[in-house]
Amino acid sequence: MIKSNIKNQILSMNRDELKQLSDTIRYRRDELSQEEKDSFKVGDSVYFMHNNQRQYGTITKKNPKKLKVNLWVNRFQSWGVPPSLLIPTERDKNEVIKAHKALNA
């Protein structure tokens, strides 16, 4: 939450100061995104949420904005996922596939 003194300072800024602030915020967001992306490597097992279901997969490529994740359940599907949505997992690939088949049997 923004402290009231910071909020008041922002509200009193002119257009040029707001532009500088905006540029600084954008720069910091880019830094954080890069840090998130750097925390993963090709071959890592991850999952992300889609339609309230966990989608498990393996990172196969690191693109500038998203990481390419090949899904375990559907070998022919790969997704470009922002690093902020990925969660590392220790689950075994075969265990996940077996559980998925049991649910859909």
Q: Mean pLDDT by 10-residue block, N- to C-terminus, for the chain (105 residues)?
A: 85 96 95 91 95 93 93 88 94 84 75
pLDDT of residue 94: 86
Do residue 49 and residue 34 come from a single domain? no
CATH number at residue 54: 2.30.30
For the entire predicted model, the pTM comes to: 0.73
pLDDT of residue 1: 65
Do residue 54 and residue 79 come from a single domain? yes
pLDDT of residue 88: 95
Do residue 50 and residue 96 come from a single domain? yes
Do residue 49 and residue 33 come from a single domain? no
pLDDT of residue 39: 93
Domain that holds residue 97: 45-103
The total of other beta-carbon atoms located within 10 Å of residue 34's CB is 12
